Chains A and B, each alone.
Chain A
């Protein structure tokens, strides 16, 4: 997962506030997500302007 995510709206480093399991949206994700049955998205919030961003975890990042 990215070390630092920068807010695209105001340039402030964002806070990693949640990891959420979601369903895979491609065959590649489905094949790589057998351990948890889905894909983890990391969710970030900007402490300056409140904007929300998310990143889908890469297959090699997945635990298990």
Chain B
């Protein structure tokens, strides 16, 4: 169901003028599981993270937490994330719409150097939101426009800062 949610989100991102985006499925990445952190880095993913100005994490919630695979993949990079915008889309079968997975991801994003925005998207009762073909049949309370407005503002602002404002004020 998270893939369905991700496709809805990326379709909305693609509507935004001047934005290039790509859906990355962490389950399909060639990341080894017998190492972790930079030791498991995939050069292709690292290049994409380096080029990105913002990340949207579409995360299913299981037992109030985030999938271990998502954390494993996020941990493979770090400098590539610093001072870049991040927004979280929570997906769950409950009425909470992944609120707990979002809260649990926030300290992880902070340590990775990402800057989390204050809008979220919550796919509540996700099994009732899509039909059997993955078509969204209920878009109520998704607030994707507000989420993307804030994400793109933050992405542009942080890019300016990364490139123009020097740490310590000497730039």
The chain A residues found within 8 Å of chain B, CB to CB, are 15-20, 22, 25, 41, 43, 45-47, 50-54
Contact = CB atoms under 8 A, between A and B. Distances in A.
Q: What's the dominant secondary structure at chain B's contact region?
A: helix
A16 B166 contact: yes
A35 B164 CA distance: 31
B154 to A, nearest CB: 15
Contact of A17 (B50, B53, B166): B166
Contacts of A45: 83, 162-163
A44 to B, nearest CB: 9
B18 interface: no
Contacts of B164: 15, 47
Which among A16, A45, A50 has the highest number of chain B CB atoms within 10 Å? A45
Interface residues of B, number: 20
Contact of B167 (A19, A46, A47): A19
B163 A50 contact: yes
A20 B171 contact: no
Contacts of B53: 50
21 contacts: A15-B164, A15-B166, A16-B167, A17-B167, A18-B82, A18-B83, A20-B82, A22-B78, A41-B78, A41-B79, A43-B79, A43-B83, A45-B83, A50-B159, A50-B163, A51-B50, A52-B79, A52-B80, A52-B162, A53-B79, A54-B79
A5 to B, nearest CB: 12
B163 A15 contact: yes
Given A17-B161, A52-B50, A52-B80, 4 more contacts: A15-B163, A17-B163, A19-B167, A43-B113
